[in-house]
Structure 1
Amino acid sequence: MTPLRQRMLHDMQIRNLAENTQKSYLQQVSSFARHFRRSPELLCPDEVRAWLIYLREERKLAPSSLGPTIGALRFLYRVTLKRDWSDEDFPLPKKPARLPVILSFDEVTAFFDAIPSLKHRAMLMTAYAAGLRISEVAHLKAIDIDSQRMVIRVNQGKNRKDRYVMLSPRLLEILRAYWHDAHPRDWLFPGDIPGRPITPSAIRLACNMARERSGIKKPITPHSLRHAFATHLLETGTDVRRIQLLMGHRSLSTTSRYLRIATSTVCATTSPFDLLPHPEPIPSPPAAPEYF
């Protein structure tokens, strides 16, 4: 490990960045340095722009995929190397504004009905019933299910934050049935390796298999269930601020995007066209004369 890599790693550890973020940042900087075959200390903003152009034009990466690269380079040069570079030295492409595809209540029901495994059903039902991220589902422990207070404790979610979410009475029944069947000791959903939790890739695989069995054509991922959780809460009258707390969003603006996809709330608004007086009926044109 080079001294610069060690310094950057220490800087990230001091700031308590998530382990996945640390690994991603180191990989991004390593790829950047290998491309130019020089230490990042010897490179300048021109090389940063050339690298981003290469990733976009040659590697065909989507704008959203460049975020980790830019975050890693910003951290390296601004924090570790203490370069006085502006945001313009790390041009961030504008992401296209796309709305997620939302499952209806009936589709969520059909999806769950297509899951034969009790463990997979409990796992994916927990993702929807509590609006959890895939990593949060994977790292749940049995002691995080508090049936006395009817809450689920989420330990060290995104941005290293703990939070509580509601424990649905129906979900509690499912989790109790699963617990009596599997008797998990530490991790609520253990993986194939003893002592380790289930992996996110295993959760995605279970979700994809259930989608195929259900026959639903919409794309379904564990994050789709989280989107459905927030949208369904909003459509049934839950306050946006409360949804923000349940979702663990840092900014209210992140939660507010669900206002655009809560169709039963937004699209149920009366159009001003319906408030206009009914116009006089359009007279029918005169019938054409018959000549035969």
Structure 2
Amino acid sequence: MTGEAARQAWLDWLAQERRASPHTVEAYGRDVRDLLEFLTRHLGATPDLAALSALRLADLRGFLAARAAEGASNATRARQLAAIRGFLRFLSRREGKAPVAVAGLRGPRRKPPLPRALSPADAREFGTGIAAIRMTEATPRPQWQAARDAALFTLLYGSGLRISEALGLDVRDAPLPGSETALRIMGKGGKARIVPVLPVVREAIAAWLAQRPGAEPDEPLFLGVRGERLDAAVAQKSMRDYRRLAGIPEHATPHALRHSFATHLLAGGADLRSIQELLGHASLSTTQRYTAVDTEGLLATWRMAHPRADR
């Protein structure tokens, strides 16, 4: 059996028996094809089943090194290694060949993407601007929906909540003007935290409750058009619609408001431990990602401001 025939048999198995999506089958097929093309150059001949069974860790390391030299990212090479592992395990089981010792091969470490924060002006715009721009005449929207979205987005940025945490609040949880009560949020893993609430957030929520029909204490704080708890996908669509009207960057999402909350606190002098508590991160290492964002901002300012930065 040729290597290409083995690849096609594996892809057929993925599609028919494992019910893998067409996108997965296509991506994994490219990954294994890249390996076969490398082995043709590396071994000096088109690989067959025997050659694939005789692969060494050094051969696979050579493939990953070659892909890195071609500009493949860590994430791409990690995915390719996962595909190759699956392919070789399939051949081992299907053809009765000794398994290739790939378990000891560690893939490239994926570098987690840095959070993308909004500028302070753009983040504030989601609270103040969305209430003013109800929508265009082509997409009219009731005033109560504008008040709801303004309250929700102001809360996300003002308190750093996850969208699921904000939408999980009930009317009884609503922080209102004149009250000093902080929000008690139940985050991931059932971990509770106390989040202070800014006056502007209280005012936005009060403006929303003034238009919300029948606000009973045990009902959801944020409602959809059918009177049920607002769905996260609907909130995300509202943000997409609004950011296009306001000319705000496309990376502005509900979660970007949470990132902006943390990034702007750090830039203003808050310490990491406090930000960790406010965000509800279990590990400080998760919060430390924001130091890289702040450093990038400082470097960008330096490049623009220093007279010798372009040399």
Length-normalised TM-score, structure 1: 0.59
Q: Of residues 224, 236, 249 in structure 1, which corresponds to 2:256? A: 224
SS in 2 for 1:228: helix
**One-letter amino acid of the structure 2 residue matched with residue 179 of structure 1:** L
Of the three residues 122, 137, 140, the one matched with 2:169 is 140
Distance 2:282 2:119 in 1: 27
CA-to-aligned-CA distance 1:91-121 (integer Å, 9 cap, x gap): 7763234323221111223343431311111
CA shift digits 1:108-140 (9 cap, x unpaired): 233434313111111111111111111112111
Q: Structure 1: any 5+ residue segments left out of the alignment?
A: 1-32, 39-52, 70-87, 275-292
SS state of the match for residue 99, structure 1? coil
User: Equivalent residue for 1:188?
Assistant: 221
1:206 is matched by which residue type in structure 2? S
Aligned to 1:234: 266
Q: Is the 8 A contact 1:112 1:210 kept in 2?
A: no
Match in the other structure for 1:129: 158
SS at match of 1:132: coil
Residues 74-95 of structure 1, C-alpha deviations (whole Å, 9 max, x = no match) = xxxxxxxxxxxxxx59977632
CA 1:105–1:93 in 2, change beyond 3 Å: closer, same or farther? same
- Give me the identity figure in percent: 32
In the alignment, which of 77, 85, 108 is matched to residue 123 of structure 2?
A: 108
Using the TM superposition, name which of 140-149 and 158-167 deviates more.
140-149
Partner of 2:206: 176
Task: Count matched residues.
Answer: 208
| 1:199-258 superposed Cα distances (whole Å, 9 cap, x missing partner) | 110110011111111112352100110000000111111111010011011100000110
1:254 aligns to 2:225 (yes or no): no
What are the residue-to-residue correspondences of 1:44-59 with 2, within 5 Å? 57-58=28-29
Contact 2:272 2:287 in 1 (8 A): yes
Tell me: CA distance 1:55–1:146, structure 2 relative to 1, closer, same or farther (3 Å).
Answer: farther
Unaligned 5+ runs, structure 2 = 1-12, 19-23, 32-73, 83-102, 135-145, 307-311
1:50 aligns to what?
none
Paired with 1:89 and 1:36, the residues of 2 have a C-alpha distance of 30
Paired with 1:152 and 1:94, the residues of 2 have a C-alpha distance of: 38
Q: Partner amino acid for 2:183?
A: I
Q: Distance in 2 between matches of 1:92 and 1:197?
A: 43
CA distance in 2, matches of 1:108, 1:200: 19
Question: Does the CA contact (< 8 Å) of 1:114 and 1:211 recur in 2?
Answer: no
CA RMSD, Structure 1 to Structure 2 (Å): 4.0
Give the letter for the 2:185 counterpart. V
TM-score computed with the length of structure 2 as normaliser: 0.56
Q: For residues 174 and 231 of structure 1, what CA distance do their matches in structure 2 show?
A: 22
Inter-partner Cα distance in structure 2 for 1:94 and 1:163: 32
Kept after mapping to 1: 8 A contact 2:175/2:202: no
Is the 8 Å Cα contact of residues 111 and 214 (structure 1) preserved in structure 2?
no
Q: Is the 8 A contact 1:144 1:154 kept in 2?
A: no
Asked whether the 8 Å contact 1:112–1:125 carries over to 2, the reply is: yes
